[in-house]
Amino acid sequence: MSLPLEGIKVIEMGQLIAGPFAARILADFGAHVIKIEPPGSGDPLRKWRLLHNGTSVWWAAQSRNKQSVTLDLRQDEAHEVVRQLIKDADILVENFRPGTLEKWGLGWDALSAINPRLIMLRVSGYGQTGPYRDLPGFGVVGEAMGGLRHLSGEPDRTPVRVGVSIGDSLSALHGVIGVLLALRHREQNGGAGQQVDVALYESVFNMMESLIPEHSVFGTVRAPAGSSLPGIAPSNAYRCQDGKYALVAGNGDSIYRRLMERIGRPDLANDPELAHNDGRVRHVARIDAAISTWTAEWPLDEVLTALQAADIPVGRIYDAADIAGDAHYQARDMLLASTLDDGTPVTLPGIIPKLTLTPGQIQSRAPTLGQHTDTVLDGLGIDAPTREAWRRRGLI
């Protein structure tokens, strides 16, 4: 069965997270991804987090289904190789600081002249335009400027970060959406390519829900609220008898009534002032106190069993060990068994979204550095003596 992006050629010139994650998603669904890395060192992600035999195990997830070609993009011959690759490419993914590709003669104007069908995904901290475009911008900065960091943590304490590079990953997802839209446009409008300009801060900002509409109408500056969800009640983390926490979302009107009945508070269930969310928000402290009093009497597993039986959304806080042993993760193919280059077993995250007719696949392991350099360059007509000369110069 063919994959939905089979026949789509992607050149990945990104490093670390945002660009490469976008290219990985495309690769999972059949795109042919050629990743360009610096000779000798490769993508810095190869050395991030925990290493096995000198290479990050994160690499096994982030670079699956890709080919690796080494090119020193600071040298003129490498620029010509990129131009050759672009001639029949569908997508270029890059996350350099704006202006970098232009400095090398590889900007949009130059590359689209070579290939008018090219779609160019450009991920950067602040976007390709605007007064901040030239500033360096990593995910942490984008998360702060996008409004997320201000809302993270407890009131009156130092703002905390989410424990993953969420700004980069959100940018990758927005980038994939943009690429798919551009592919559709190209299909419907005579084959014209275009740029997809994704800024990290904007990808985070797009998740901020009612933050700006509320500020514009009420002058409200939303503040951090710990584990609760301000303006929606009840929705919080409640401590159980064994010291663990149950996450309870009782914010639907009928769900709220069932929740109050289940915890033995029919008075709160039938109070007309609490029938709808706006009334419950005004009395959220009283509602949270009632739920906390009940959960404190039972261990977490019994709280989960009781509330699930009443059809109330409730869950536990999962760590990596919980995920690895979870039957639902297994049943949904979200934990995929694979191996590293030396045969060491490794579990990789599953593929989403789940398409019923053309689901994504892992077709190849993450490449070693430069594993496909000779194959790709040979396909461009660059002969073995030239490649060897380039190796001696550190070009590849």
Q: Residues 299-318: what's their mean pLDDT?
A: 97
Residue 186's pLDDT is 97
Q: Residues 106-121: what's their mean pLDDT?
A: 98
Which residue, of 281, 316, 351, is where some domain finishes? Answer: 316
Same domain, residue pair 96 and 119: yes
Same domain, residue pair 25 and 135: yes
- Asked whether the predicted pLDDT for residue 215 surpasses 90, the reply is yes
Same domain, residue pair 185 and 127: yes
Q: Which residues contact 15 (CB under 8 A, 6 or more apart)?
A: 37, 43, 44, 45, 95
- Asked whether the predicted pLDDT for residue 33 surpasses 90, the reply is yes
- Asked whether the predicted pLDDT for residue 367 surpasses 90, the reply is yes
Token pair recorded at residue 380: 């461009």
Instruction: Kindly list the distances between the CA atom of residue 37 and the CA atoms of 63, 155, 229, 244, 368, in Å, as whole numbers in the listed order.
Output: 12, 43, 42, 45, 11
Assess whether 271 carries a catalytic annotation: no
Within a domain: 230? no
Provide the residue type at 274 as one letter: L
pLDDT digits (tens, 9 = 90+) for 4-30: 999 999 999 989 999 999 999 999 999
Q: What is the mean pLDDT of the chain?
A: 96
In sequence order, the β-bridge partners of residue 120 are 92, 195
Residue 159's pLDDT is 87
Within a domain: 217? no
d(CA 142, CA 136): 10
d(CA 48, CA 45): 5
pLDDT digits (tens, 9 = 90+) for 52-92: 999 999 999 999 999 999 999 999 999 999 999 999 999 99
Q: Residues 175-203: what's their mean pLDDT?
A: 97
The confidence band for 369, taking pLDDT boundaries of 50, 70 and 90, is: very high
- Asked whether the predicted pLDDT for residue 137 surpasses 90, the reply is no
Domain count, the chain: 2
Provide the residue type at 107 as one letter: G
Instruction: Give the global pTM.
Output: 0.94
Residue 372's pLDDT is 98
Residue 37's pLDDT is 98
Owning domain of residue 277: 235-316
Are 135 and 126 within 8 A, CB to CB? yes
Same domain, residue pair 125 and 84: yes
Same domain, residue pair 52 and 174: yes
Q: Residues 359-367: what's their mean pLDDT?
A: 96
- Asked whether the predicted pLDDT for residue 1 surpasses 80, the reply is no
Which residue, of 316, 342, 360, is where some domain finishes? Answer: 316
d(CA 206, CA 203): 5
CATH code, domain carrying 379:
3.40.50.10540
The confidence band for 125, taking pLDDT boundaries of 50, 70 and 90, is: very high
Residue 90's pLDDT is 98
Q: Using CB atoms within 10 A of its CB, is residue 156 exposed (0-12), middle (13-18) or buried (19+)?
A: exposed
Of the candidates 28, 168, 197, 288, the residue annotated as catalytic is 168
Within a domain: 280? yes
d(CA 13, CA 16): 10
d(CA 33, CA 244): 44
